[in-house]
Amino acid sequence: MENNGSKLSQDEIDALLKGGSNDDIEPDTLLSAMEQDAIGEIGNISFGSSATALSTLLNQKVEITTPTVTVIQKSKLNEEFPHPYVAIEVNYTEGFSASNLLVIQQTDAAVIADLMMGGDGTNADPSLSEIHLSAVQEAMNQMMGSAATSMSTVFNKKIDISPPRVELLDVKEGEGTDRIPAEEMLVKVSFRLTIGELIDSNIMQLYPITFAKDLIAELTVPTQEEEPVQETPVSTPEPQQAAPQAQSAPVQQAAPPKRQAKPKPAAPVNVAPVEFEAFSEPQHTTSQLGNLDMLMDIPLSITVELGRTQRSVKEVLELSAGSVIELDKLAGEPVDILVNKRIVAKGEVVVIDENFGVRVTDILSQSERLSNLK
């Protein structure tokens, strides 16, 4: 059964909806070569930006190559995924209404988790704990968020996703198979994934073929259809009744347009440098000051920031009572005073009775502070 168009035939739709026998449907005929190329190009663009996001997270060179697109049957997934994997379910919440599944080998997920937690990835434990799965989930969240942003550009509309859910997938044992899309015919997009010298494997994307058809349709349909140009008939005036001889007279052709005279050269223009008037500090009008007085009673959150630092997930998990965290400020250095998370002044820490306080040592001008509050 062949299907060279962008839509499924009625027999194929009925078979997919009923979930019955699909043995008479050849998966390779459900997507034409052009449609496979379109799906591959969408994946190439979206996962190209994902590689950049993952490279930043793992501090490793990440490459995701041009994908291979095939159609597979859900009933034969044990042949496609014979080993334990990690499945990441991602649902589209805006722009599309569908779900897709990212599948990576369990050993690859262990390497990614180890790198996310501050390790070097060389001695990753393949038995993934909850914290390791959470690390993989965060990595995939960044990847798919970047992919959704790229797809928004391709389809010229906002596309957003839900936070991904991660589970172990073992098709032979039936573990994690509830995350696989319910449709019988699935599109499998397989990318070659390399991470430094640690991983040279595949990352696969699974989603229903109906969703693939929707992607192809939106990609191939022009955003704005051109309206056909209608020719306006030109009517000639009817001849007057008083002059019947004019009916047989030949129609006179319009006289050719007269030649336009050559423009005279423009007169020379005197060019002088522009002079700008010096402006002083803007003066607030009475109405502006009145409007400002209406805002004077609005409460603002004032925060004094002693300093900041960054630590890996591994280092944060190793913290305990008595641990010392070194900040980015030197002893005696002024602290930052923030209003609504905007720096407006600097000061030094003091003790007032039994409470801490801060003495302002440097502050922005009133106009600068007002501008920061906008």
pLDDT, tens digit, for every residue of 66-91? 789 999 988 888 888 888 899 988 88
Listed in sequence order, the residues at least 6 apart from 30 whose beta carbon sits closer than 8 Å to its beta carbon are: 3, 8, 12, 71, 185, 209
Dist. CA 174–CA 136, nearest whole Å: 22
Average of per-residue pLDDT across 317-329: 85
pLDDT given for residue 191 in this prediction: 92
User: Per the structure block, which two tokens stand in for 125?
Assistant: 């434990």
Q: 18-22, 184-188, 211-215: lowest mean pLDDT where? A: 18-22
The per-residue pLDDT of the chain, averaged, comes to 77
Give me the residue spans of the domains in the chain: 18-220, 301-372
Residue 150 in contact with residue 159, Cβ under 8 Å?
Answer: no
Q: 76-80, 283-287, 345-349, 361-365: lowest mean pLDDT where? A: 283-287
User: Per the structure block, which two tokens stand in for 346?
Assistant: 């600097």
pLDDT given for residue 111 in this prediction: 93
The pLDDT > 70 percentage for the chain reads 70
Which CATH superfamily includes the segment(s) 18-220?
CheC-like (3.40.1550.10)
- pTM for the whole structure: 0.54
- pLDDT band, very low/low/confident/very high, at 108 (cuts 50, 70, 90): very high
- Given a cut of 80, whether residue 335 has pLDDT beyond it is yes
Q: Which fold does the domain 301-372 belong to in CATH? A: Surface presentation of antigens (SPOA) (2.30.330)
Residue with the bigger pLDDT between 17 and 367: it is 367
Average of per-residue pLDDT across 238-246: 46
pLDDT given for residue 26 in this prediction: 66
Longest Cα pair distance anywhere in the chain, in angstroms? 117
Residue with the bigger pLDDT between 22 and 114: it is 114
Say what angle helices 106-116 and 130-155 make with each other, to 10 degrees. Answer: 90
Listed in sequence order, the residues at least 6 apart from 192 whose beta carbon sits closer than 8 Å to its beta carbon are: 63, 64, 65, 200, 201, 202
pLDDT given for residue 226 in this prediction: 44
- pLDDT band, very low/low/confident/very high, at 369 (cuts 50, 70, 90): low
- pLDDT band, very low/low/confident/very high, at 19 (cuts 50, 70, 90): very low
- Given a cut of 80, whether residue 146 has pLDDT beyond it is yes
Residue 315 CB neighbours (<10 A): 13
- Given a cut of 50, whether residue 93 has pLDDT beyond it is yes
Residue 166 in contact with residue 138, Cβ under 8 Å?
Answer: no
Q: 54-63, 66-75, 142-151, 364-373: lowest mean pLDDT where? A: 364-373
pLDDT given for residue 225 in this prediction: 45
C-alpha to C-alpha distances, 45 to 38, 137, 175, nearest whole angstrom: 11, 22, 32
Average of per-residue pLDDT across 290-301: 66
- pLDDT band, very low/low/confident/very high, at 7 (cuts 50, 70, 90): low
Q: Would the CA dihedral through 212, 216, 218, 219 be positive or negative?
A: positive
Average of per-residue pLDDT across 228-240: 50
Listed in sequence order, the residues at least 6 apart from 122 whose beta carbon sits closer than 8 Å to its beta carbon are: 198
Q: 3-7, 45-49, 189-193: lowest mean pLDDT where? A: 3-7
- Given a cut of 70, whether residue 167 has pLDDT beyond it is yes
Which three-class secondary structure state does DSSP give residue 226?
A: coil
